[in-house]
Amino acid sequence: MAKQERAIRTRNALVHSAATLFDRDGFEVASLATISARAGVSSGALHFHFPSKAALADAVVAAAGDRLVRITREREALALQILIDASHELVQGLRCDPVLRVGFALSADPERTRAARDLRRGWREWVESVVVRAERAGLLAPDVVPRDLAAAVVAVAAGHEALGHQDPGWLERAPLTRFWAFLLPRAVGDARVGLFVASGDAAAEPYGTAESHGTGTVESHGTAESRGARAREAYGTVAVVSPEPGAEADVRS
């Protein structure tokens, strides 16, 4: 058992080291020798776990996929609040977790990884499935097209990911909070905005403690308990589960 646990720790250290160096130096520049040295692991141990840099890239994508599954985990809440919370968790993860950040990039690059998981596609399909549930629960304003709402949420996450490479400020909580504060009245109507909190549920944050929202963010509409009570009274709760890989959401026009 101790030997197995040591092997898992070694593998995890190599995956994290690879992601950090791929992120810092680029995939082509980062060498296996540098990766093993940073992880405090011998070259022989590295090759025991990963015969090539491509195999390490596959492992980074797989680890990032596991993180995405946790971000899109089953929760009981109104569907749009689930989406708000998960989008904040995703952006925070892209800010501070090199495995998630690099895994997203590598999963869309078939020249560098053989991993079958396209994490961006997985995120898009999950967003579409949540928006469909929000519509079926009667949460969306009558003139909102679910496909358009899902596209907006997917696009803003992709934009934060891309812009965050040059300016980490895009991966702070405040810009995404402003997006949701702008979008929510249009998506659900002014009468239902008070059921949601644009800054997300800080208690669900898996990447450290909640940060200061800074200037320009929106105050929560009452406590989480009072929002939840009003939501349950009006709509009940919805448990949203990650779709099976490759499953297409029914996003109607």
Segment 154-166, tens digit of pLDDT? 999 999 988 888 8
Which is more confidently placed, 241 or 138?
138
Contact between 140 and 149 under an 8 Å Cβ cutoff? The reply is yes
- Averaged pLDDT for residues 91-103: 94
pTM: 0.78
Q: Does the pLDDT at position 224 exceed 50?
A: no
Contact between 155 and 147 under an 8 Å Cβ cutoff? The reply is no
H-helix segments, the chain: 2-25, 32-39, 43-49, 53-71, 79-96, 98-107, 119-136, 146-164, 173-188, 224-235
Q: Does the pLDDT at position 248 exceed 60?
A: no
